[in-house]
Structure 1
Amino acid sequence: MSDDADAVQARITAFWNVLASGYNTADNVAAPGSSEYTAWLETVRSLLPETPSDVLDVGTGTGFVAQMAAELGHRVTGVDLAEGMLESAQDRIERAGLDVSLLVGDAVRPPFPPASFDVVISRSVIWTLRELETAFRSWQTLLRPGGRVVAIYGLGTGPMDESPAQESAEKPMGLFQRHYTAETRNALSAMRLQDHSLPIRMAQRAGLVDVTVSSLELVRGWETSPGSDLPHALVGHRLIS
């Protein structure tokens, strides 16, 4: 990465490290045993293979999807650059009595050999990735033949998505604005998605085939990430041969 790209990523990672200790709340992740959690579990079940598979959760955060994939019987690895988030994820996984490998790693370039996984999944992550096409290329490379990428994301704008025009010089900058500066937001091509054309195009250019997008009606209106009120899942596959 260039110095500018390093600075952008440093601000993003610092933001999530600050949030980590208090992120496992009902406003951000559904509590196990709740009806909302059951809806997410069934949604993730519908997106993953029926047979136990090797699943990589990129940008795992506090391990929400990693926990559900493990509960469904998959062999799960989670990576995140925010070590604070990984500490929360480790606590979550241990309390659930599950076996998930959690590692510090970049969602854009996960540190694994090619063909290591059957599934690469992300949830509420692509909006904060600085190199979306590179990420899709990396994920495609990590798949075994016939494997799939699953990217859960939203359309529209969420409450954290504040434009520079809305920021006043007299108004103290909040945590989000201090880290997601104008420079940072301008580096994030999927932050303000109004349709699916960009992620579909990036996935196809990365070599994924049979790319589809479906609406996730069971979990509509959940969370506070940008666009999460209209959640969708992009699914693309690596060629079998």
Structure 2
Amino acid sequence: MQQLAAQSNYGLRDEIKAYWSVRAETFDSQPGHEIFSEEERDAWHRLIRKHLGAGEGRKALDLASGTGVVSHLLDDVGFSVTGMDWAEPMLERARAKAKSRARSIRFLMGDAENTMEDDASYDVITNRHLVWTLVDPKAAFVEWHRVLKPGGKLLIVDGDFVNPSWISQLAKKAAALFQSWGIGKKVAHHGPDASLAETHQSILSRVYFSQGARADAVAALLKEAGFTSVAVDTDMRAIHRAQKKNFGFLKGLERATQHRYAICAIK
């Protein structure tokens, strides 16, 4: 990855794309990405219905769809779903997963900051853990506003992964200590290649939200982009409770005390 980043005409956006292309191989094996229990699936369904309502055949665009995890959740509750990602390895896995589950989800290669979709063509736009990676979030939000139909809704699920609470810091240190003693689960969020963790940190240090994607800052940019009724929901407890069973107690505690949120906004 570092060699790629050093090539001429190879910028931050290319590095982000390459990073997620590599991450595709282990993405679905990691808690917090794929759904590992019906309890967690149900918690996600409740969050989606809370902010977007029942699908009822409405058109949804799931940006940075990855292997299609959120796309499948939207399909579960009745949306007509298009997943968009710019990493072909992610799309390959998403299409294979949809085929194996007999789902009619459409997956397209595309850039979340420049979708190339028609004006006012979707009822709903969703994304999970995309905003923190955006190079120009204001431009992206203007693009999403353009693609939504009047009255359409945007649902963002994201978090501040830069500024952990003191509880989160303590839990992370304790988990690392116990793991060094052979106690507890080790969750490798960057897969077996440890160098990817360095790449992740390098990317995080250069994106727009390098100091942390706080909900209030994201909400302010959404308003500037023309969205109204911007509502921040920090109650992710049901999802975190379900995920904790796969993370282990300390890692689950760390995750539950991070600044994670859902933001719903209307065009």
Match of 2:151 in 1: 146
- Normalization by structure 2: what TM-score? 0.74
Q: Compute the displacement of 1:14 (Å).
A: 0.6
Aligned to 1:178, which of 199, 213, 232? 199
Are the counterparts in 1 of residues 27 and 34 from structure 2 also a CA contact under 8 Å? no
Match of 1:211 in 2: 230
| Equivalent in 116, 120, 125 of residue 120 of structure 1 | 125
Is the Cα–Cα contact under 8 Å of residues 71 and 98 in structure 1 kept in the other structure?
A: no
1 CA distance for matches of 2:9 and 2:119? 25
Counterpart for residue 200 of structure 1: 219
1:16 aligns with 2:20: yes
Greater CA drift, 100-109 or 48-57 = 48-57
Pairing 1:231–2:260 present: yes
What is the RMSD computed on CA atoms of the aligned residues?
2.8
The equivalent residue for 1:45 is 49
Question: Distance in 2 between the 1:5 and 1:230 partners?
Answer: 35
2:25 is the counterpart of 1:25 = no
**Larger gyration radius, structure 1 or structure 2:** 2
Quick one: percent identity of the two aligned structures?
A: 25
Give matches, 1:62-141, under 5 Å. Answer: 62-141=67-146
Q: Unmatched 5+ residue regions in structure 1?
A: 160-171
> Whole-Å Cα distance in 2 between the matches of residues 26 and 193 of structure 1?
23
For residues 52-110 of structure 1, what are the alpha-carbon distances to aligned partners after superposition, in whole Å with 9 as ceiling and x for unaligned? 31000000011111001111111000111111111111122112211111010001111
Deviation by residue 1:7-61 (Cα, 9 ceiling, x = unmatched): 1011111111111122111424343653222222222222223233100000001
Aligned to 1:113, the other structure's residue is in SS state coil
Distance 1:155 1:118, change over 3 A: same
Query: TM-score of the superposition, structure 1-length normalised?
Result: 0.81
Aligned length: 221
**Structure 2 SS opposite 1:220:** helix
Write the distance in 1 (CA, Å) between the matches of 2:240 and 2:63. Answer: 22
Paired residue type of 1:73: G
Runs of 4+ in 1 over 6 A off after TM superposition: none
Are 2:83 and 2:108, in contact at CA under 8 Å, matched by a contact in 1? yes
